[in-house]
């Protein structure tokens, strides 16, 4: 179960354009944003519930398929221990849902996006692990809204800093993070071999 339940919801001010609401034990945020001239959408950002997890699993797998390094690994080497990248992603997502802060984005009751993260309380550092937008909703600004929602949530949990990883060839992701004030601090190479 997501550890977001019972967390304090952040306060808003007029300039934040984010209205956090208290609903039961979980926080909820409604963000209105406009794309393509006068077309506006309201995305509701809320804590994930266990009933969301199957749909989120499919959303993340579909949205990551074009860019995941694990798919490239399967193509180059083979599925690891008989598990293809999708099954490995499902197993990883089960751990994420059990241990991380998980937020979902909805438009008109339909799950459209998700973000997950962890908190290092000693360093006041949040780590955004997964940021995914459903394939039918990409290119409309939802990734940006989920990123902002997760950053606000991490801030409400005491984080003063946030970091994330992105593949060097994920041009859309890297452009988003740069535009939101993230600075590249290091690169790493993922090496692999059979034993």
Q: What structural domains and CATH numbers belong to the chain?
A: 14-179 (3.40.630.30)
- Per-residue confidence (pLDDT) for residue 27, from 0 to 100: 52
pLDDT (0 to 100) of residue 30? 54
pLDDT at position 87 over 60: yes
What is the rounded distance in angstroms from the CA atom of residue 140 to the CA atom of residue 157? 28
| pLDDT (tens digit per residue) in 118-131 | 999 999 999 999 99
> Would you state the pLDDT for residue 114?
97
Encoding tokens for residue 183? 């600075």
Mean pLDDT along residues 23-27:
39
β-strand pairing of 161-164 with 110-120 = unpaired
pLDDT for residue 40 is more than 90? no
| C-beta pairs of 58-62 under 8 Å, 24+ apart in sequence | 59/111, 59/112, 59/113, 59/114, 59/132, 59/134, 60/89, 60/93, 60/114, 60/130, 60/132, 61/86, 61/89, 61/90, 62/134, 62/135
Contact 125, 158 (CB under 8 A): no
Q: Which of 18-32, 131-145, 181-195 has the lowest mean pLDDT?
A: 18-32
What's the predicted TM-score (pTM) here?
Answer: 0.80
Residue range 136-155, pLDDT digits in tens:
999 899 999 999 999 999 99
Alpha helices in 112-191 (DSSP H): 142-156, 171-179
Q: What's the rounded Cα separation, in Å, for the pair 32 and 13? A: 15
């Amino acid at each position: 179960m997501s550890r977001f339940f019972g967390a304090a919801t952040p306060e808003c001010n007029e300039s934040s354009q984010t209205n956090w609401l208290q609903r039961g034990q979980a926080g909820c945020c409604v963000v209105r944003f406009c794309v393509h001239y006068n077309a506006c959408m309201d995305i509701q950002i809320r804590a994930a519930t266990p009933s969301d997890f199957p749909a989120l699993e499919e959303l993340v797998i579909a949205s990551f398929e074009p860019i995941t390094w694990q798919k490239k690994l399967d193509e180059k080497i083979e599925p690891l221990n008989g598990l293809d990248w999708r099954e490995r992603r499902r197993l990883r997502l089960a751990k994420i849902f059990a241990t991380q802060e998980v937020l979902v984005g909805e438009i008109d009751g339909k799950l459209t996006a998700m973000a997950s993260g962890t908190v290092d309380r000693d360093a006041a550092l949040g780590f955004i692990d997964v940021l995914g937008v459903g394939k039918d909703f990409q290119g409309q600004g939802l990734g940006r809204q989920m990123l902002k929602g997760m950053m606000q949530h991490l801030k409400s949990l005491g984080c003063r800093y946030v970091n994330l990883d992105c593949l060097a060839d994920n041009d859309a992701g890297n452009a988003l993070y740069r535009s939101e004030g993230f600075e590249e601090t290091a690169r790493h190479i993922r090496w692999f071999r059979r034993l």
